[in-house]
Amino acid sequence: MELNRFLVRVLIALTLFSPLQAWAQNDSERSYETHPDALALVDEMVEEHAFDRQALLDIFSEARYRDSIVQLMDAPAEGKPWKDYRPIFVTSKRALAGKAFMAAHLETLKRAEQQFGVPAEIIVAIIGVETYYGTHAGKTRVLDALSTLAFDYPRRSAFFRKELKAYLQLTRDEQVDPASLKGSYAGAMGYGQFMPSSFLHYAIDFDGDGYRDIWHNPVDAIGSVANYFARHGWKQGEPVVSKAHFSGDAKAVNWVRGRKNLKPDYKLSELIKLGLEPQAGLDIQQPSTPIRFTGARGKEYWVGLHNFYVITRYNHSALYAMSVYQLSQKIAN
C-alpha cells in the first residue's frame, strides 16, 4: 500500500513538472534550445519566414541566459532625476569628442543633412549619447540579451520577443552570424544603438557598398540615424525646445512623467494660459509638451515642440531627448 502511494505521488509530480520548470533547473549559463518559448518561436519563424528549423535550434543552443541583463533592465538611467541624468551625457568632454567626430565625417554629415533635413549636430549628438561616437557600443552578445529578455523577463517579454524575431531576420538577410554581434544589455546595436526592428526599417547603405553596416561603418551609421529622424517626421529648420517660466497651478498641467505624456497634445496658447510662458518667441498655435525637471538648482520648466517629440521616438524619454538636444547645442557652439 505504501509503495502504491509513493508511485502515485511520483506520477503527480511528473505531471506537474512542466518543460519550462525542467529547463529552469539548469545553471545560470543555461542555453535556450530546449526552452518551450524558444521552441514556439522557432515554429513561428519556420512557418512565417521559411527559416530552417535545425539552423534555429543550433542558434538557440548558443544563446545564453544572463542574469546581469535582467538586473540592468531593472535599474535604467532614465529612473534618475534630471540633475543626476544630465551630467552623464551633457559634458564638455563629450562635446569636444563630438566636434572631433563631426570634423572627421563632415562631408558625410553635410550629405545627410541635405538629403534628410536633419541637422548634423543632432545626428552627432545621438551617436554621442548612445555610444560616445562608437567607442562604447556594448560588449553583450545581442543573441544573449534578446533571448534572456524575450524568454526570462516577463514584464517586457512581448516587446523583446518581436525584437528577437527581427534580429534573426536581419542576421539572415545580412549574412551575419547571430552569435557574433555585440551591443547593449537591451540588444541595441552599432554607433546609433538601433534595435533590430529599427535596423530592418531604417538602416541604410549610405556609402553604396551593398551592406548596411551600422557596427563598423560610421557612414552607414550617420545615414541611418538621419533616415530614422526623417521617417519619424523631423521638420527642417524648426526649433526643438524652449526654456520657460511657470507661474500657474502645477496640478492643472499634464506634465511629462517618465515615458508618459510625451506627445505634444497642448497648443502653446493653452500652456501660456496655464502659466507656462516660453522664453523664445514661438507660434502659439503649434503643438507643445509641458516639461518640468528637477535640476541642480531646483525646478526647470520647458516647452517641448514637434522636433523634441521626434527625438523621443528614438528613446521614449524626455530626459534622453533633452540630453541629446543640449549636447547638440554644445557641439554646434
Catalytic residue annotation:
130
CB 156 within 8 Å of CB 197: no
Distance between CA atoms of 247 and 234, rounded to whole angstroms?
A: 31
> How is the beta sheet containing 287-295 ordered, strand by strand?
266-267, 287-295, 298-304, 241-246, 276-278
Give 3-state DSSP helix, strand, coil % of the chain, rounded to 5: 55, 10, 35
Cell numbers standing for residue 314? 528614438
Cell numbers standing for residue 205? 547603405
Instruction: Count the residues in the chain.
Output: 333
Angle between helices 92-104 and 106-116 (to 10 degrees): 90
